[in-house]
């Protein structure tokens, strides 16, 4: 069966510091991968998606970037965090079924 | 443009039935997802409707009308553990358009 991992679970970072969030998927190959952000009490905002190694599509211009160095690894990064980057970051994977399955999420607080 | 709407919050009583509505306008449409999200957790998949009509899965049912751009999630025999946010998402041209979610509060 497939599983998806995200770490860390929670993170408190000062404004201007760098960020690296990691997501890995097990039990499948060549999945579509997604990064979402969810502000408190709000819906999901798609940040990036990837259909394969090295292929990244950005949905929202911001100070974040994403990379997919391996088939089942998806990384979200920032060189300098802003206060507005606080939120709940969710990674998801999808294959033929079109259903997206989410990881446990990373709660980021930028102070 | 692309738009998806659902009520912000609903309240229901334990043991009762509740219907959560979702309307959508998208440039392309393949189907409609419903997810459940408990506070502080990730969304989990509930249903995916492609064809018009009602699909039942235990206490939960989901309905779709493509001509009206409308869907609803029906929850029967409500339990306290059903207190959560319910997100609808339209499958539109290889991406999902997400609603903001409906927070469902269950009272004893």
Residues of B in contact with A41 (CB under 8 A): 103
Cα B83 to chain centroid, rounded:
13
Q: What percent of chain B has pLDDT over 70?
A: 99
Least CB-CB distance to A43: which of B42, B48, B99?
B99
B99 touches chain A (CB under 8 A): yes
Higher pLDDT, A62 or A64: A64
pLDDT in tens, A9-63: 999 999 999 999 999 999 999 999 999 999 887 889 999 999 999 999 988 867 8
Indicate yes or no: CB of B41 within 8 angstroms of CB of A46: no
Best residue of B40, B90, B96, B101 to probe chain A, by most A CBs closer than 10 Å? B96
What token pair was written down for B81?
A: 């553990």
Mapped onto helix, strand or coil, the DSSP state of residue A96 is: coil
- B19 pairs with which residues across the strands? B74
What token pair was written down for B44?
A: 């989990």
Q: Quick one: pLDDT band at residue A76, thresholds 50, 70, 90?
A: very high
What token pair was written down for A65?
A: 């970037």
Indicate yes or no: CB of B95 within 8 angstroms of CB of A46: yes
Least CB-CB distance to B100: which of A42, A49, A103?
A42
CA distance A15 to A11: 13
Alpha helices by DSSP H, listed for B2-106, are none
State the smallest CA–CA distance between residue B87 and chain A in angstroms.
Answer: 8
φ/ψ of A47, rounded to 5, equals -100, -55
CB atoms within 10 A of CB A69: 9
Give residue A61's pLDDT.
Answer: 66
pLDDT in tens, B53-95: 999 999 999 999 999 999 999 999 999 999 999 999 999 876 8
Give residue B100's pLDDT.
Answer: 93
Cβ atoms of residues B66 and B53 within 8 Å: no
Give residue A82's pLDDT.
Answer: 95
Indicate yes or no: CB of B42 within 8 angstroms of CB of A98: no
Sign of the Cα torsion B37, B70, B89, A95 reads positive
What is the average per-residue pLDDT within B11-35? 96
Residue of B nearest to A6 (CA): B42
For residue B81, the 8-state DSSP code is G
CA end-to-end distance (rounded Å), chain A:
38
């Amino acid at each position: 069966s497939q599983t998806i991992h995200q770490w860390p679970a929670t993170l408190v970072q000062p404004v201007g510091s760098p960020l690296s969030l990691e997501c890995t998927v097990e039990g499948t190959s060549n999945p579509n991968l997604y990064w979402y952000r969810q502000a408190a009490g709000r819906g999901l905002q798609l940040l990036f998606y990837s259909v394969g190694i090295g292929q990244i599509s950005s949905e929202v211009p911001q100070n974040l970037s994403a990379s997919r160095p391996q088939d089942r690894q998806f990384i979200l990064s920032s060189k300098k965090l802003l206060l507005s980057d606080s939120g709940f970051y969710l990674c998801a994977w999808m294959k033929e079924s079109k259903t997206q399955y989410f990881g446990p999420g990373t709660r980021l607080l930028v102070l | 443009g692309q738009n998806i709407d659902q009520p912000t919050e609903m309240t229901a009583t334990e043991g009762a039935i509740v219907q959560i509505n979702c309307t959508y306008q998208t440039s392309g449409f393949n189907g409609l997802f419903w997810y459940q999200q408990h506070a502080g957790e990730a969304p989990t998949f509930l249903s995916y409707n492609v064809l018009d009509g009602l699909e039942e899965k235990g206490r939960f049912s989901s309905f779709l009308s493509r001509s009206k751009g409308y869907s609803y999630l029906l929850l029967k025999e409500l339990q306290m553990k059903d207190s959560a946010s319910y997100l609808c998402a339209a499958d539109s041209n290889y991406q999902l358009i997400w609603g903001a979610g409906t927070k469902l509060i269950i009272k004893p």
